[in-house]
Structure 1
Amino acid sequence: MTFSLARPDDVVLEIDLAAVRANFRYVAALVGPYVTVAAVVKSDAYGLGLVNIAKALIETGCDLLFVANLDEAILLRSRFGRIAIAVFRDEFDRFGGFYQSYGLIPVVNNCKELHAVCAAGEAQTYFLNVETGFSRFGLSVGDIHRNYLLRTFERCRPSILLSHLACGECIWDETNVLQRDRFRSVYDLLRPTGGSLAASAGVWLGKSYHFDMVRVGSALYGIDTAGVQATRLQPVVKLRARILDVRDVPAGEAVGYAATFRTIRSSRVAIVGIGYKHGLPWSCANKIAVRMGNHSAPSIGRISMEYIMIDITDVPAGHCIPGTFVELLTEDFTVNDLAAAAGVSPQETLTRLGAGCTRKYVNSCSSSAGFTANRSMAAMSSPSRAER
């Protein structure tokens, strides 16, 4: 027999699905009508909930989703029968039967998988990953040429040729040009139905990086990795946590582990029910503040596993009642700002918060007017080649 108590949630991550839709439309407008925008929803949609995020994107016109593995792909297939789903990594040579049974698209990352796909026959659609300078997955350019000479690609032509930029957020980095040129050489050799080099940051590098498809993950969730110019991405998440207790602390007393903060006056301190267990970065200690109505209160002392302390000495008592919420992420202080304060990546921050907090979905963003719809994956054709 199990026993549990019904408790209110101490930490809530609010996810604005309308903002996700607006960001999708914004990227579609940037790349234009001849470039498909595919959505990357891997790792539980960056911690924001795979099924809910996928549903919002499909309703907005997205018709291709990329996931991390077969577990995520099969879950999506059970909910959405017709959407195209591509799997970044689960070996086709081992799990080909699952790909075929569920109608999934493998991303082929090595020669062994390529040969298994070819053995499966022409009916098996696949995307081919080529290594151009990221040194993670993908066939080398030499592998591509050897298989080209063996006429492998005449027997099983890839639908989409993929690669991944290592320095897409750095507009002046010469690695981008090197990777683009390597990718183009393979693209022109194989002449697949489409090519995809750019992920979120690469969208802002210009049309020569877009090819036929961009794969957008971070940008959909309001993470600005462009490093080029100010974007109009909508913030997607807000974070709030409950005040659990309030106490008086004399001047000169330590607050939290290792006494990294000591009061310089008699202070009022609130204990808030969020910590690194919920995904709040430990390294943001003594560097951030929370919002309480129109007031701000600094976080003081180290981040504990389940708690932070905030200095509420200058905040009116009506905002500091145990059981009320403080705001940690808002429209004015986003996950990008939190990550910068902590010295970590916003992707890591968002994924950890999504996994550690109670998620609540809303539809409040209205800034989607005027953005164009996505071009269907099935409609890829020659105009984008002609533009290049």
Structure 2
Amino acid sequence: MQNMLSLVSPDDVLLEINLGAIQANFRTISALVGPHVRVAAVIKSDAYGLGLVEIARALIDAGCDLFFVANLNEALLLRSSHVVAAVAVFCDQFARYGRCYRSNDLTPVVNNCAELDAISAEGETQTYFLNVETGFSRLGLAFVDVRRRYLSGTFESYPPSVVLSHLACGECVADVTNVLQRNRFQAIYNLLKPIRGSLAASSGVWLGKSYHFDMVRVGSALYGLNDAGIQPNPLQPVARLRAKILDVRNVPRREAVGYGATFRTVRASRVAIAAIGYRHGLPWSSANKISVRIAGHSAPLIGKISMEYITIDVTDVPEAHCGPGAFVELLGGDFTVGDLAAAAGVIPQEVLTRLGAACTRQYLNSPSPSAVSVSRPFNAGARSR
């Protein structure tokens, strides 16, 4: 017997991505750092779940000419999609895939001495970026290794075009770790004298010009995530999340709703079932904590979040606005990715990447509601019940 199709279709959950807002955020950062500081876009992890190629093309139109990606697969996807801007790969593996880097005009970000040796072994000039450790304890050459390689003449023969590092506490203006890392980075910058130095990512750009050096690497801010809590918020929201109502039912007073009976009605209620759940990236921990918007009305999410469904109290919403087929808005207007993350007790980046990976993505050219294209996640489609 053939499997019955799920009630939920891919187009029942839509993540609208405003490309115009992303471009505006790029221009905001560019204006902040000034014309002498290059603004590179971090589009790793499928552009934070929003679509690697689509976001890259929009940012090129806004004037971006350098992208950072997570790995070689993402870089090759850009090249196969005819994205011709400069591309740097955070997790480089140049020692293993050097020929691929050269043939596709990709720039490795060197994170350790072994990869630096692979650059040196090329016997020819190879453009690369050097990642240095200044107090984050993740990737990058320690100062002792930088100094040793400097004294041995490695950087004279094979100079990096960009030296970069990463701030651990960039979102906290008063944290002394920022000053410590800036001073350490300044010492390495002065020693190697690269064409460009880059210390600040999205949060770091708000720390002031002494953190900008010659280039900033912006990811979260492009996607409207105000990690540094700057007020008034200079960034435009990028994402709007909507889900279709599948059914509406009448539930008596004092009846349980959802797994574990975490919610019981206090009155005779109308409850809508909408086609979104934790499978789509909606945080399970936001159950009983957020509301949705329906035609200008607010309606609370009640009960636990299921894999593919949520339940909403629509008793106070006119029936004409909340029947099967109507859409509820979970992100949009004054309720942002950051607000959802705060309600769930997670970070906005986690929410955005999970939503983007699982929901059907719809792209808008500008703040107007005219969609330009639709992209479905890899695993979208009909599912068995």
What is the DSSP-based 3-state SS (H/G/I as helix, E as strand, rest coil) of the residue aligned with 1:349? Answer: helix
Matches within 5 A, 1:113-262: 113-262=115-264
Counterpart in the other structure of 1:384: none
Quote the offset at 1:98 in angstroms.
Answer: 1.1
Please point out which of 338, 341, 346 is paired with 2:340.
338
Quote the offset at 1:97 in angstroms.
Answer: 1.3
Amino acid at match of 2:18: D
Conserved 8 A contact 2:199-2:211: yes
Quote the offset at 1:95 in angstroms.
Answer: 1.3
Quote the offset at 1:110 in angstroms.
Answer: 0.2
Quote the offset at 1:8 in angstroms.
Answer: 6.2
Counterpart in the other structure of 2:297: 295
Counterpart in the other structure of 1:347: 349
Quote the offset at 1:226 in angstroms.
Answer: 1.7
Counterpart in the other structure of 2:275: 273
Counterpart in the other structure of 2:104: 102
Counterpart in the other structure of 2:25: 23
Conserved 8 A contact 1:169-1:228: no
Aligned mates of 1:3, 1:91 — CA distance in 2: 44
Count of residues in Structure 1 that have an aligned counterpart in Structure 2: 365
Give TM-score, length-normalised by structure 2: 0.92
What is the DSSP-based 3-state SS (H/G/I as helix, E as strand, rest coil) of the residue aligned with 1:9? Answer: helix
Conserved 8 A contact 1:121-1:156: no
Q: 1:3 to 1:36 in 2, by over 3 A?
A: farther
Aligned mates of 2:66, 2:220 — CA distance in 1: 16
Conserved 8 A contact 1:171-1:227: no
Higher RCO (C-alpha under 8 Å, 6+ residues apart):
1
Aligned mates of 2:91, 2:113 — CA distance in 1: 14
Q: What does the per-residue CA deviation read over 1:219-266, in whole Å, with 9 as the maximum and x for residues that have no partner?
A: 000011123443310100100000011111111111111111111111
Q: 1:124 to 1:8 in 2, by over 3 A?
A: closer
Q: 1:249 to 1:4 in 2, by over 3 A?
A: closer
Aligned mates of 1:121, 1:63 — CA distance in 2: 28
Aligned mates of 1:3, 1:284 — CA distance in 2: 32
Identity score, percent: 69
Conserved 8 A contact 1:67-1:86: yes
Quote the offset at 1:82 in angstroms.
Answer: 2.8
Conserved 8 A contact 1:290-1:327: yes
Aligned mates of 1:170, 1:188 — CA distance in 2: 26
Aligned mates of 1:95, 1:4 — CA distance in 2: 46
What is the DSSP-based 3-state SS (H/G/I as helix, E as strand, rest coil) of the residue aligned with 2:257? Answer: coil
Conserved 8 A contact 1:122-1:155: no
Give TM-score, length-normalised by structure 1: 0.92
Please point out which of 342, 348, 357 is paired with 2:359.
357
Conserved 8 A contact 2:92-2:110: no
Aligned mates of 1:331, 1:122 — CA distance in 2: 54
Q: 1:81 to 1:274 in 2, by over 3 A?
A: closer
Counterpart in the other structure of 2:314: 312
Quote the offset at 1:122 in angstroms.
Answer: 4.1
Gaps of 5+ in 2: 369-385
Q: What does the per-residue CA deviation read over 1:309-345, in whole Å, with 9 as the maximum and x for residues that have no partner?
A: 0000111000111011010101210101111111100
Gaps of 5+ in 1: 367-388
Quote the offset at 1:101 in angstroms.
Answer: 1.2
What is the DSSP-based 3-state SS (H/G/I as helix, E as strand, rest coil) of the residue aligned with 1:327? Answer: strand
Q: 1:321 to 1:69 in 2, by over 3 A?
A: same
Q: What does the per-residue CA deviation read over 1:117-159, in whole Å, with 9 as the maximum and x for residues that have no partner?
A: 1122442100000000111100001100010111110110000
Amino acid at match of 2:355: L
Aligned mates of 1:231, 1:35 — CA distance in 2: 22
Q: What does the per-residue CA deviation read over 1:30-56, in whole Å, with 9 as the maximum and x for residues that have no partner?
A: 000000000000000000000000000
Amino acid at match of 2:135: G
Aligned mates of 1:350, 1:81 — CA distance in 2: 24
Q: What does the per-residue CA deviation read over 1:193-216, in whole Å, with 9 as the maximum and x for residues that have no partner?
A: 000000000000000000000000
